[in-house]
Amino acid sequence: MLDEFTSALDQFTAQTIEKEIMILKEQTCIHVTHKLSEADEHLYDAILEIDAGQLVKVTQPNV
């Protein structure tokens, strides 16, 4: 579980670390963020958007 793990980083460093984590095989990663780059959506198997405690959207970029 990674909760806002890149929030204090510059964009380049955040994207570099995120890509390195996402290439790990046989791992489940839950990444909580308020800012997700559309350019990086392809790194994820699924993206769940929650608003006011309710699931409002599920996206599967690679399907």
- C-alpha separations of 9 from 1, 12, 29, 36, 47 in Å: 18, 8, 19, 14, 22
What does the pLDDT read at residue 31?
Answer: 81
pLDDT value for 14:
86
Q: What does the pLDDT profile of the chain (63 residues) look like in tens digits?
A: 888 888 898 989 988 988 888 888 888 888 888 877 787 788 888 889 999 999 999 999 877
Q: Output the pLDDT for position 55.
A: 95
pTM reported for the whole predicted model: 0.69
